[in-house]
Structure 1
Amino acid sequence: MNIGELSRLTGLPVKTIRYYSDVGLVPEAERSPAGYRRYDHAALVRLEFVRTLRELGLDLATIRRVLERGADLGAVAAAHAEALGAQIRVLRLRRAALRAVASRDAGPADLDRLAKIAQAGADERRRILDEFFDSIFSGIAESASTDGTRSGEAFAGGMRSVTADLPDDPTDEQVDAWIELAELLRQPDFRDKLREMGRRSFAPGAPRVVPTDPAELKWFTDLVGAAQDRGRPDPATVADTVLARWASMAGRADGPSLRAEVIAALEGGVEPRAERYWQLMAVINGWPPVPATMHRWAWFLSALKEGAGR
């Protein structure tokens, strides 16, 4: 077949086929008496192979070594697949930065910052978190809890031990979560709120009327969830039930003083962004999802305030 027929069969331009012939990748079988190139079926198969390797991104020198058996195709394919994987990861991170910019009113400086955040390595992610923790935990003195098992210093150490461990090949959701987390950590009012929450929680003699036991918290969210979602029981009954239970657990009298303490604690502690922090950490680290409960606490706080004047 002539070069035009080969071009029609493969869809490659005549100019490309001629170049491959000139560099010896797809040599012609013979020349016609008039000097025109002629190709056989073996040339067609070889040309299809060369095209496939080129579409996969291999350079001509590597293709030549493969064709001449100077390189093992399997080894070449494995190395190239690894290189493509690295490129794909970079492109995924860049795409995540662009998505973040597209979702907000952002300018060129924001794009540069978000691109750097998206492509941050483990050390840089650790630095961002450490700087955040240094900011919110400064000034929180060590102070024992009512049961003597917890302190501000221990709590800070526990928080610092949790890192944003993106895998080598993160999903889009994990990259998006890391960008959102890094942006959340930059918010000055969020830092101020957490710093104040820490100061209140770990100040010497600070009351701890809201339990932290997981089983107790589940009882609370189940009760409030039923009332909030189905309207039973009514808010006042929920508030009274919860306060009576917590008073009994703390060995306290259930009355206006306890209600006021719980209201003060929740006003300083109901922060949806703190919950979002742990939800994002769960996505980044591949943990089980963290359920949303802040809307339950906000509802309960409103019920407490409504009943405070009764």
Structure 2
Amino acid sequence: MDDENLLTIGALSERTGLTVKTIRFYSDKGIVPPTCHSPAGYRLYDVHALARLELVRTLRELDIDLATIRRILVREISVTEVAGAHAAALDVQIRVLRLRRAVLLAVAERGSNPQEMDLMHKLVNLSEAERHRFIHDFIDDTFGGVDANPAMVELLRSSMPELPDDPTPEQVEAWMELVELVQDNDFRTAVRKMAEYQAKERAEGDTTGLHHDLTETMCAEVGRALAADIAPDSASAADIVDTLTARYAETFGRADDDQLRRWVLERLAVANDPRVAQYWQLVAIINGWPPLPDLGPVFTWFGQALHTYLDKQH
């Protein structure tokens, strides 16, 4: 062996940037044994030992344990297998760190106390199935046991909040608020009444669905009235009421009369709970959807206009 190509432990330290103590440790553990010894007993290393040591250094920087490194060096497992496993583990660690960062930013923005911070941390670290359980429990409690509109129940179950792996503080805060909302007994009672009202309507023959077209028409007509600052008790409002009640009559197969208008007013009173709008807004924030239109002002204006019309009939 050409002694000129051998490196002392000090030279090896200079070449790799590792300390002499670290190299000696790897040598004593048999991970990077010396190639040979000098006549004076000093450890000497060739280029193969240098390459082996550099590989060990790289693997340790990737936080791979010595037992696994030893198996790689004796070719029990491949670098490819180890890299894949550690990349997957890092994905989990990165997700955890991102969640922690989002929780801390949300805590800072909300001015949370330690108890709320602890709760928030626990909620965001739940599995997806555990998070969905909050919503399913809410649906089971409010819609279970009554023949409510099945399209509404399906919409709720299919529109689950999906907290991303890298949530924003706003999404973490929205998730916290959503959990608080679906566990609120007053809100559950209000939604239960909506479900019971739907069941009563179905028992009386209403088998229609969610009426997206009707809602869009109402938003368009009332939206123009709101933009034009048309008062709900004005003559112009009466024309809008006529247009919309005609659409209701067509959709539900009913006569467009005072009885229909009282029925529409009753439906609006049941549906116009701002907490329902809050529920969908929070789901939209968590899922990264575009902001949803606020139907509260639309329902309120239309309800006032209907009240005005009906009052004038008496």
Same fold (TM over 0.5): yes
| C-alpha deviation, 1:302, in angstroms | 4.0
* Distance in 1 separating the partners of 2:171 and 2:291: 20
Partner of 1:67: 73
* Moved segments of 4+, more than 6 Å: none
8 Å contact from structure 2 (residues 31, 70) kept in 1 = yes
Q: Given the alignment, which residue of 206, 217, 220 partners 1:222?
A: 220
Cα RMSD for the two superposed structures: 4.2
Partner of 1:158: 154
SS of the equivalent of 1:172 reads coil
SS of the equivalent of 2:32 reads coil
Partner of 1:146: none
* Distance in 2 separating the partners of 1:7 and 1:16: 9
* Distance in 1 separating the partners of 2:37 and 2:10: 14
CA deviations 1:217-267 (Å, max 9, x no partner) are 223323444555xx3474557743441123223222379x93x76555444
8 Å contact from structure 1 (residues 97, 115) kept in 2 = yes
The structure having more radius of gyration, on CA atoms, is: 2
Partner of 2:180: 183
8 Å contact from structure 2 (residues 8, 45) kept in 1 = yes
1:193 aligns with 2:190: yes
Q: Given the alignment, which residue of 17, 22, 28 partners 1:16?
A: 22
Change (3 A) 1:156 1:21: same
8 Å contact from structure 1 (residues 137, 198) kept in 2 = yes
Q: Which amino acid aligns with 2:167?
A: D
* Distance in 2 separating the partners of 1:185 and 1:11: 57
Partner of 1:252: 256
Partner of 1:26: 32
SS of the equivalent of 2:131 reads helix
8 Å contact from structure 2 (residues 32, 49) kept in 1 = yes
Q: Aligned residues, how many?
A: 290
CA deviations 1:13-34 (Å, max 9, x no partner) are 3322221222122233444555
- Using structure 1 for the length normalisation, give the TM-score: 0.70
* Distance in 1 separating the partners of 2:88 and 2:95: 11
* Distance in 2 separating the partners of 1:3 and 1:227: 85
> Equivalences for 1:1-310 in 2 at 5 Å?
1-32=7-38, 34-121=40-127, 123-137=129-143, 141-142=146-147, 152=148, 154=150, 157-158=153-154, 161-162=157-158, 164=160, 166=162, 170-172=165-167, 176=172, 178-203=175-200, 212-226=210-224, 228=226, 231-232=227-228, 234-236=230-232, 239-249=237-247, 250=249, 251-253=255-257, 258=261, 262=264, 265-281=267-283, 289=289, 291-294=291-294, 296-299=295-298, 301-302=300-301, 305=304, 308=308
Change (3 A) 1:271 1:20: farther
| C-alpha deviation, 1:53, in angstroms | 1.1
* Distance in 2 separating the partners of 1:299 and 1:25: 74
Q: Which amino acid aligns with 1:244?
A: D
CA deviations 1:133-178 (Å, max 9, x no partner) are 344347x754xxxxxxxxx2746753674374859x8443697365
- Using structure 2 for the length normalisation, give the TM-score: 0.70
Unaligned 5+ runs, structure 2? 1-6, 250-254
CA deviations 1:174-229 (Å, max 9, x no partner) are 973655532331233432432343344444699x9xx952223223323444555x
Change (3 A) 1:223 1:245: closer
